[in-house]
Amino acid sequence: MAIVNATPDSFSDGGRYLAADQAFSHAIKCVEEGADIIDIGGESTRPGAADVTESEEQDRILPVIEKLVRESDVLISVDTYRASTAKRAIEAGAHIVNDVFGLQKDADMAAVVAATGAGVCIMHTGRERQKLDDVIEDQFAFLDTSLEIASKAGVARGAIVLDPGFGFAKDTDENVELMARFGELDPFGLPILAGTSRKRFVGSLTGRDVATDRDIGTAATTAILRMAGASVFRVHNVAMTRDTLAIADAVFARVSKA
């Protein structure tokens, strides 16, 4: 899953792909490098980022989605927690909703996903809530609630991917703990997405202050999390990730046979 931020203030590439043509060109480059999904967002989720209105968000992403639908057959994900934006994006041709608040911020989101038959990525977050002390217990406490919301709305379980939300109200120690105990998420019985790309904790561990210098550290987390069972990787650097996964999958296949 390649990240395309049509925003002026995302932590890694803010402003680079704000114009629809720039975002589209970058998305096509990611597809050429091996991306299976393009994740398009119109509002930065970094701490302290400026809020945007629904119309601003939609004005940023809808032209990109429409152009991708016309000129490619790549799967498209919309990175939003707003039901109205998700609905318009799906109508424009998006296939997946990527909700960083796990269906818990906008009460209408689960119903939109269910009604449209879209796929959904349900992400864990520690924002705007009191977390439990244990990182895995908190994952289950939050995501079980999200899954109950999804079930009650009629979202098909086969349409769901979970995301443990690396970096979202989690400090470096919590992110490392989450990586070390990633296999404890297996009881969910659902595919899990890993979104560590260029995150602050990767910079903290490697000493890389500049986000774009964190791709090698990101590749290390990708290999670790693939071996731990992650299925989808949301990244900025697609080519490096494909190479990393080629090695990890070769080893993973041998380990699985053992």
Distance from C-alpha of 196 to C-alpha of 194, rounded to nearest angstrom = 6
Distance from C-alpha of 168 to C-alpha of 156, rounded to nearest angstrom = 26
DSSP states along 55-119 = HHHHHHHHHHHHHHHHH---EEEEE-S-HHHHHHHHHHT--EEEETTTT-SSTTHHHHHHHHT-E
Q: Which helix (H) or strand (E) holds 31?
A: helix 20-32
Cβ–Cβ under 8 Å, residues 99 and 122: yes
**Where in the sequence numbering do the catalytic residues fall?**
199, 234
Cβ–Cβ under 8 Å, residues 31 and 23: no
Structure tokens at 10: 């995302």
Spell out the alpha helix ranges (H) of 33-82.
54-71
Which residue in 156, 116, 103, 123 sits closest to 39, CA to CA? 123
Strand, coil or helix: what is 110?
Answer: helix
Cβ–Cβ under 8 Å, residues 196 and 167: yes
Beta bridge partners of 75: 37
Handedness of CA 147, 152, 157, 159 (dihedral sign): negative
